[in-house]
Chain A
Amino acid sequence: MSDQVLFYAFGAFAVLTSALVIGQSNPMYSVLLLVASFGAISGLYVQLDAPFMAVIQIIVYAGAIMVLFLYVVMLLNAPQEDASEWDRAHPLRRPGAARVGAVLALLLVLQLGWALSRTLDARDTVGAQADAETVSSVRTIGRVMFTDYVFAFEATSILILVAMVGAILLARRETDR
């Protein structure tokens, strides 16, 4: 039962923080809240017997990507959203696109939930079919990743390289040329 409790705790925290990320207007807070929600999600990973991915989630997402975001926020000195807006207000009370968006999001949740209720039997638990060792072993992950997924791995590495070059080229000042 304890893991149920943990699941709900983490889940609630993740949902709350994510909601707050898009719920308020200060990008600085958004980033930090997102980090928090990542923490919660990595907790869920631990729950799913994927400690490795949990740690990687922290290192890569929280430790690298989010720092990058934080950086840009600081670099641009995080302008609040344009004054001509009603960000202080609750999302649903905004006119136009925002409200539509909220409605659509709700629709999507309902649809997905419905789809799940139709496709899955709610009773079978994640751990029902396989035991933890099969998925928690870093060794297995490494072996599979570098055998079955080696091509994807190489492709990703090239993608990273391209992204790096592109980022440097884009963020460079024109006067450098």
Chain B
Amino acid sequence: MLSLIPLFPFLGFVVNSLAGRRLPKAVSGGLASLAMLASFLLSALLVWRLAGMAPDARVIEQRVYTWIASGEFTVDLAFRLDTLSAVMILVVTGIGFLIHVYSTAYMHQEIDSEYARYFSYLNLFASFMLVLVLGASFLVMFVGWEGVGLCSYLLIGFWFAKKSAADAGKKAFVVNRIGDYAFILGMLLIATRLGTLDFVRVAEAVAGMPAEATFGTLSIAALLLFIGATGKSAQIPLYVWLPDAMEGPTPVSALIHAATMVTAGVYMIGRNAVLFSHAPDVLTIVAVIGTATALMAGTIGLVQNDIKRVLAYSTVSQLGYMFLAMGVGAFGAGIFHLYTHAFFKALLFLGSGAVIHALHGEQDIRNMGGLKRALPITYWTFLLGSLAIAGVPGLAGFFSKDEILFETFHEGHTILWVVGILTSLLTATYMFRLVFLTFHGDFRGKVAPSAHPEEEEHGAHDRPHGHVRGEGLHLHDAPAAMAFALVILALGSVLAGYIGVPHALGGHNTLGTWLAPAFHVGGEAAESATVGEEGPLELTLMLVSSAIAVLGIGLAWFLWRRRQDIVDGLAQRFAAPYRLLLNKYYVDEVYDAAVVQPIRVISQEGLWRAFDVKIVDGLVNGAGSTVAGAAWALRRLQNGSVRAYAGSLFVGVVLILGYYLWR
């Protein structure tokens, strides 16, 4: 039953990849979407069943078969659904389904075979992601972990004809490999030290030990796992791949690089909450790195001009928030934010996708503006998403972000809290910079008329209906399928927060209590309940951050609607920092100089020129020439004269016979 959830998308993948090129778009796309819908309904059913159980025993397990059995160390191919993974599968399948639907329209201009290929990848990704989430042991999780990495590579490089896309795909894959390497090490360390890879048994084993005051085995294992997480979830130092990943189709960015895959790291930490909470030093590291990432990405996002890149950096910074939550031990809050973020970030990406779609591939916000009237649906949904991410009270982002900040403050990390607040200010600002530059003001792009040839060259398709005349510009708002996804997600980003209303606001953090048992071993009390006492403090903090959000929005309005000149002035006065931000702190260049070039030199000069050419080839050729020489010698005997052979044979006979006669 449980294994069916990943199986549905996988079947979709099989069909689409084998027969896809022969199927019409409606069939292949519809098939993929149906597969997602099926596994979403199934997940919902199972979660419902889960909710029916006793709060402490909310677990559904399925052992498919024993995968590895060596001595007493065994790994089963097993799936486990508990409160944590329940949230995840709902997010993955639900949002995944919406994005599939959205894609059916968005990718419509691809030829059939490409279309099918796209959906087969998308399904494969979903199936791997579900394996990752449902896996009952590190190894099974790792299968999904690698699988989603592969799919992200395939989908970033979906338009592999475009060099930048192909490169971005490779970059993502390689960077991910680095993280995965650390992840494998951590996994092996756990396997050797604790003799098992099953999450529950690991947790039990760890729970038995005291928290490590000093940096010990558990800490090392946790740290390695966290490095893996930074790779997958784009944290310092391995975040560089995510912005480039925007080369992929926008729905992919929405699904993989905003909603689901990149959150895998967060999920993994939450999954091993017990382990991490037994390594306080690592937790601190996690918190610090998360905060730093959040701040840095926020600053970069402030100046980027590519609509998708802005969103990408915002994703990075939001992920930073999640890690901060994890770091301060507020696992519930982290997952909560993951959950809400999935909604509004997916919404934002899809909205940007709608914009790009409408502008036939234009991504530079400097060439946009005033699209409000042209694309009403897109505009309003996008606006809602922005409000939600900015943390305006009443929307999804507000609750989760505030819970994180409160937990941070409550745990006593005041500096982190300040930085967090600062980041949220940044967030509000750059998000609304984006909104204003894109949707308000006048259209700054070269007037893209309805001249068909140009549309063709943009590879756009031109539907007669759904066209809105705006600024003499010939645009069309999101077609039905896209609009559907947008609206649903907009609703989500408004309402999603309300399952986690904190006690301070008279709610009783349903999600928190729901999740609590996943972060502790059996008996321990769910301590998220104890937050209640701090009511007044929490309220004040909320007011602060709300104010900050509004302030940020206002700032953005002031700067980019009223006084554009100030911005330019700042850009000129602080030219150096501006360029620094614009070039993303030159991190890519630094990495290139520090890592890529040395490796290239070593492989080229050392491994290739020296080792391969000299030693390996030397061995091979040596063997060859030896044989040749021997053959040259032996060939003297093979003179090809039959009678010579017969003669030698005959001599042999006579000699042997003579020998046996003589003795």
Chain A interface: which of B7-15, B271-279, B615-623, B642-650?
B642-650
Separation of A119 and B588 alpha carbons in the complex (Å): 94
Between A and B, 26 residue pairs with Cβ closer than 8 Å are: A97-B643, A97-B644, A97-B647, A100-B647, A101-B643, A101-B647, A101-B650, A104-B647, A104-B650, A104-B651, A104-B654, A107-B654, A107-B658, A108-B650, A108-B653, A108-B654, A108-B657, A111-B654, A111-B657, A111-B658, A111-B661, A112-B657, A114-B661, A115-B657, A115-B661, A118-B661
A101: chain B residues within 8 A (beta carbon): 643, 647, 650
Closest B residue to A107 using CB positions: B654
**New A-B pairs, 4, CB < 8 Å, besides A97-B644, A97-B647, A111-B658:** A100-B647, A104-B650, A112-B657, A114-B661
- B632-645 CB mask vs A (1 if < 8 Å, else 0) is 00000000000110
Separation of A115 and B658 alpha carbons in the complex (Å): 9
- Closest 5 interchain pairs by CB? A111-B657, A107-B654, A104-B650, A104-B654, A108-B654
Closest B residue to A100 using CB positions: B647
Separation of A101 and B658 alpha carbons in the complex (Å): 16
Separation of A101 and B643 alpha carbons in the complex (Å): 10
- B169-205 CB mask vs A (1 if < 8 Å, else 0) is 0000000000000000000000000000000000000
Separation of A111 and B661 alpha carbons in the complex (Å): 8
Question: What is A's interface to B at a CB cutoff of 8 Å?
Answer: 97, 100-101, 104, 107-108, 111-112, 114-115, 118
Q: How far is the CB of B104 from chain A (nearest CB, A)?
A: 57
Q: How far is the CB of A87 from chain B (nearest CB, A)?
A: 14
Closest B residue to A103 using CB positions: B654
A112: chain B residues within 8 A (beta carbon): 657
A114: chain B residues within 8 A (beta carbon): 661
Q: How far is the CB of A115 from chain B (nearest CB, A)?
A: 6
Q: How far is the CB of B334 from chain A (nearest CB, A)?
A: 76
* Number of B interface residues in the complex (CB < 8 A): 10
B647: chain A residues within 8 A (beta carbon): 97, 100-101, 104
B650: chain A residues within 8 A (beta carbon): 101, 104, 108
Q: How far is the CB of B631 from chain A (nearest CB, A)?
A: 26
A97: chain B residues within 8 A (beta carbon): 643-644, 647
Separation of A108 and B647 alpha carbons in the complex (Å): 13
Separation of A69 and B380 alpha carbons in the complex (Å): 101
B653: chain A residues within 8 A (beta carbon): 108
Closest B residue to A111 using CB positions: B657
Q: How far is the CB of B242 from chain A (nearest CB, A)?
A: 64
Q: How far is the CB of B660 from chain A (nearest CB, A)?
A: 8
Q: How far is the CB of A91 from chain B (nearest CB, A)?
A: 13
B644: chain A residues within 8 A (beta carbon): 97
Separation of A146 and B219 alpha carbons in the complex (Å): 81
B657: chain A residues within 8 A (beta carbon): 108, 111-112, 115
Separation of A104 and B650 alpha carbons in the complex (Å): 8
Separation of A107 and B661 alpha carbons in the complex (Å): 13
Separation of A20 and B658 alpha carbons in the complex (Å): 28
Separation of A118 and B650 alpha carbons in the complex (Å): 22
B661: chain A residues within 8 A (beta carbon): 111, 114-115, 118
B658: chain A residues within 8 A (beta carbon): 107, 111
Separation of A107 and B657 alpha carbons in the complex (Å): 10
A104: chain B residues within 8 A (beta carbon): 647, 650-651, 654
B643: chain A residues within 8 A (beta carbon): 97, 101
Closest B residue to A112 using CB positions: B657
Separation of A104 and B653 alpha carbons in the complex (Å): 10
Separation of A111 and B653 alpha carbons in the complex (Å): 11
Closest B residue to A108 using CB positions: B654
Separation of A101 and B661 alpha carbons in the complex (Å): 21
Separation of A82 and B529 alpha carbons in the complex (Å): 112
Separation of A159 and B354 alpha carbons in the complex (Å): 77
Q: How far is the CB of B381 from chain A (nearest CB, A)?
A: 74
Q: How far is the CB of B89 from chain A (nearest CB, A)?
A: 64
Separation of A118 and B658 alpha carbons in the complex (Å): 13
Closest A residue to B646 using CB positions: A101
Separation of A114 and B658 alpha carbons in the complex (Å): 10
Q: How far is the CB of A68 from chain B (nearest CB, A)?
A: 20
Separation of A108 and B651 alpha carbons in the complex (Å): 10
Closest B residue to A115 using CB positions: B661
Q: How far is the CB of A7 from chain B (nearest CB, A)?
A: 26
A115: chain B residues within 8 A (beta carbon): 657, 661
Separation of A108 and B658 alpha carbons in the complex (Å): 9
A118: chain B residues within 8 A (beta carbon): 661
Closest A residue to B644 using CB positions: A97
Closest A residue to B653 using CB positions: A108
Separation of A118 and B657 alpha carbons in the complex (Å): 13
Separation of A97 and B644 alpha carbons in the complex (Å): 8
Closest B residue to A101 using CB positions: B647
Separation of A115 and B650 alpha carbons in the complex (Å): 17
Separation of A114 and B654 alpha carbons in the complex (Å): 13
Separation of A48 and B643 alpha carbons in the complex (Å): 35
Q: How far is the CB of A96 from chain B (nearest CB, A)?
A: 10
Q: How far is the CB of B648 from chain A (nearest CB, A)?
A: 11
Q: Which residues of B from 122 to 168 have beta carbons under 8 Å from A?
A: none
A107: chain B residues within 8 A (beta carbon): 654, 658
Separation of A94 and B654 alpha carbons in the complex (Å): 21
Separation of A112 and B657 alpha carbons in the complex (Å): 8
Closest A residue to B647 using CB positions: A97
Closest A residue to B660 using CB positions: A115
B654: chain A residues within 8 A (beta carbon): 104, 107-108, 111
Separation of A101 and B650 alpha carbons in the complex (Å): 9
Separation of A100 and B661 alpha carbons in the complex (Å): 21
Separation of A47 and B205 alpha carbons in the complex (Å): 95
Q: How far is the CB of B656 from chain A (nearest CB, A)?
A: 10
Separation of A104 and B644 alpha carbons in the complex (Å): 13
Separation of A108 and B650 alpha carbons in the complex (Å): 9
Q: How far is the CB of B162 from chain A (nearest CB, A)?
A: 52
Separation of A114 and B657 alpha carbons in the complex (Å): 11
Q: How far is the CB of A138 from chain B (nearest CB, A)?
A: 36
Separation of A111 and B650 alpha carbons in the complex (Å): 13
Separation of A115 and B651 alpha carbons in the complex (Å): 17
Separation of A112 and B661 alpha carbons in the complex (Å): 10
Separation of A118 and B663 alpha carbons in the complex (Å): 13
Q: How far is the CB of A106 from chain B (nearest CB, A)?
A: 10
Separation of A100 and B654 alpha carbons in the complex (Å): 12
Closest B residue to A105 using CB positions: B650
Closest A residue to B650 using CB positions: A104
Closest A residue to B643 using CB positions: A97
Q: Which residues of B from 459 to 516 have beta carbons under 8 Å from A?
A: none
